Amino acid sequence: MQARQPSASFLTRSSLPVSLSAMLFSVLVSSQALAADNSHDAIAERLKPVGELCLKGESCAGDMAGAGQQPSAAAETDSASAASAIDGEKVYGGICMACHTTGAAGAPRLGEAGDWEARLAKGNETLYTHAIEGFNAMPAKGGNPALSDEEVKAAVDYLLDSVR
Ligand code: HEC
């Protein structure tokens, strides 16, 4: 206590005007802060995070309902089902084999690496596109438009796997 007294009296003596104005200032500031706290702006500001949550509602309601995971989960499910549910061999056996097992119409044959060498160089995307959209005597989707792109791709993969 005694150690403080000199500084307290120092404050009282030399810094009283400063302290007073500082006090006044802080009162002003805090009353402004209080006023601001109750102003519409401040209320809006306080509500804003809630509003954002609701605004994002579409995406964030989705988020909250698990949409944060839902799209990716759905995408995973889709690709997983596309990858696992589609049996390339089965699709191939359903239609592609008609030409690609026998080499009919000059079709590159299953398991005949020589038939595929030049085609492999085109890259998978081109081969997928040609199988889906058709290429010369290769009919689009092997002639079965009911096949999905993914099914055709799976059949292409099956063909390509046989020669790699
Ligand atoms: C009616 C006969 C026929 C059927 C059915 C058929 N193909 Fe083909 N396919 C061909 C012929 C012919 C070619 C060679 C075309 C060329 O190179 O001019 C070919 C080429 C391809 C190629 C190579 C394309 C390229 O760019 O070299 C792929 C991949 C392919 N077929 C996939 C399939 C798949 C997958 C199926 C089944 C969904 C299928 N084909 C069904 C006749 C057929």
Name the band, by pLDDT with cuts 50, 70 and 90, for residue 39. Answer: confident
**Comparison of pLDDT for 67 and 129, the residue scoring more:** 129
Residue 98 and residue 91: Cα distance in Å, rounded? 11
Give the three-class secondary structure for 2: coil
Q: What is the DSSP letter of 109?
A: P
Nearest CA to ligand 1 atom 26: 127
Mean pLDDT score, 27-43: 62
Residue 138, φ and ψ in degrees, nearest 5: -80, 110
CA angle 131/135/138 to nearest 5° reads 70
Domain boundaries, the chain: 4-67, 87-161
Minimum-distance ligand 1 atom for the alpha carbon of 106: 12
- pLDDT value for 124: 96
Q: How far is CA 149 from the centre of its chain?
A: 22
Nearest CA to ligand 1 atom 16: 136
Nearest CA to ligand 1 atom 42: 138
Q: Are 107 and 100 in contact (CB under 8 A)?
A: yes
Residue 34 has pLDDT above 60, yes or no: no
- pLDDT value for 27: 63
> What CATH superfamily is the domain 87-161?
Cytochrome c-like domain (1.10.760.10)
Minimum-distance ligand 1 atom for the alpha carbon of 118: 27
- One-letter amino acid for residue 61 of the chain: A
Minimum-distance ligand 1 atom for the alpha carbon of 143: 5
Backbone torsion region of residue 107, taken as left when φ is above 0, otherwise alpha when ψ lies between -120 and 50, otherwise beta: beta
Which class for 129: exposed (0-12), middle (13-18), buried (19 or more C-beta within 10 A)? Answer: middle
Ligand 1 mutation target, pool 87, 91, 100, 128, most atoms within 8 A of CB: 100
**The pTM is what?**
0.61
Residue 76 has pLDDT above 80, yes or no: no
